[in-house]
Amino acid sequence: MLKKPLIIGNWKMNKTPEESDDFLQKVLDYEAEAKPNCEIAVSVPFICLSTCIDKSKSSPIKIGAQNCYFEENGAFTGEISASMLSRIGADFVILGHSERRRYFSETSEIINLKVRSAIKNGLDVVICVGESLSEKEKLIADEIILMQTKIALFGVDINSLSKVSIAYEPLWAIGSGDIEKIEKINEMCEKIHRVVDQIYNKGASATMKVLYGGSVNIKNLSKILSKANTDGVLIGSASLVSDEFLKIIEFASKHT
């Protein structure tokens, strides 16, 4: 790993503003004291954004949302636009998470519109790609992941790649307690880098990060981060408990 690792906690539909305040205070205290050698980011529910953004203003910790809509404004009840996130001070947004694709029927084309809107409004984006168990068993995982990557980046200027992270998350691994084989993780991250270079030009992918997500925890972290093609991790349930999240940050900082 050549880049400072990016450690992102994705809280999903968990925590109130009060709970997020307590959690973030512990992370801020640790960061101020330990000065970890990694980038720290937390993706929080919409109702926690203002609390977390205000609390982290004087720190390097990045605060992001878990979704946004691609229109700037209008009659879209229940949606939040990228421009709204930008105006309240969010740093980034996760887009295309498998749960959005699965439960809310988001297509790769819709995700691409969201990616372009988020970048246009100054947000960094974490684009999630990954195969289902059925696709894995049919030996078409590579094709699915590379297609999702290509569509997500359609119309994204090469100068915006530095604002992009792509998270490889096998759908079958999320919440299962099992991760993909380390060799396969490294291979897939390498293929994502390669296809981005094909879309733009050789070396273009060096400006972006490729992450792994799916049942990441302190026990498997060293194996994941030991591979040269993995620039960090997107963490789900292990990011909900502050002590566990801080152990992951500490480990990533000392072993990269």
Contact 168, 144 (CB under 8 A): no
Tokens 């894995």 belong to 136
Closest to 94 (Cα-Cα) out of 122, 121, 74, 118: 118
Residue 47 tokens read as 């109702």
Mean pLDDT of 20-34: 96
Active site residue 255: no
Tokens 């096998």 belong to 170
pLDDT digits (tens, 9 = 90+) for 192-214: 999 999 999 999 999 999 999 98
Q: Is residue 63 part of a domain?
A: yes
- What's the confidence (pLDDT) of residue 231? 92
Q: What percent of the chain has pLDDT over 70?
A: 96
Q: Is residue 1 part of a domain?
A: no
Q: Sorting pLDDT into bands at 50, 70 and 90, what band is 256?
A: low
pLDDT digits (tens, 9 = 90+) for 33-65: 999 999 999 999 999 999 999 999 999 999 999
Q: How many domains does the chain have?
A: 1
CATH number reported for the structural domain that contains residue 186 in this entry? 3.20.20.70
Active site residue 79: no
Determine the Cα–Cα distance for residues 247 and 191; give it in Å rounded to an integer: 30
Q: Which has the higher per-residue pLDDT, 29 or 221?
A: 29
Closest to 173 (Cα-Cα) out of 183, 164, 185, 165: 185
Closest to 64 (Cα-Cα) out of 94, 28, 23: 94
Instruction: Kindly report which listed range (12-16, 50-54, 98-102, 219-223) carries the lowest average pLDDT score.
Output: 219-223
Q: Is residue 224 part of a domain?
A: yes
Q: Sorting pLDDT into bands at 50, 70 and 90, what band is 83?
A: very high
Q: Which residues contact 171 (CB under 8 A, 6 or more apart)?
A: 98, 102, 130, 131, 132, 133
The range of the structural domain enclosing residue 228 comes to: 6-254
Determine the Cα–Cα distance for residues 239 and 9; give it in Å rounded to an integer: 5
Torsion sign, CA atoms 248, 165, 167, 53: positive
Determine the Cα–Cα distance for residues 152 and 97; give it in Å rounded to an integer: 12
**Residue of 106, 169, 180, 193 marked catalytic:** 169
pLDDT digits (tens, 9 = 90+) for 220-229: 888 888 876 8
Please report, in angstroms and rounded to a whole number, the separation of the first and last CA atoms in the chain: 7
Closest to 234 (Cα-Cα) out of 120, 17, 55, 66: 66
pLDDT value at 2 more than 60:
no
Phi, psi dihedral angles at 69 (to 5 degrees): -100, 160
Mean pLDDT, rounded, of the chain = 93
Residue 141 tokens read as 């995982």
Q: How far is CA 64 from CA 8, 86, 121, 136, 251, in A?
A: 9, 10, 14, 30, 23
Q: Is residue 221 part of a domain?
A: yes
pLDDT value at 13 more than 60:
yes
Determine the Cα–Cα distance for residues 41 and 234; give it in Å rounded to an integer: 9
32's enclosing H/E stretch is: helix 17-34
Q: Sorting pLDDT into bands at 50, 70 and 90, what band is 1?
A: very low
Closest to 23 (Cα-Cα) out of 213, 216, 232, 244: 244
Q: How far is CA 18 from CA 25, 118, 163, in A?
A: 11, 27, 30
pLDDT digits (tens, 9 = 90+) for 119-177: 999 999 999 999 988 998 999 999 999 999 999 999 999 999 999 999 999 887 776 66
pLDDT digits (tens, 9 = 90+) for 239-251: 999 999 999 999 9
**Residue of 97, 106, 131, 193 marked catalytic:** 97
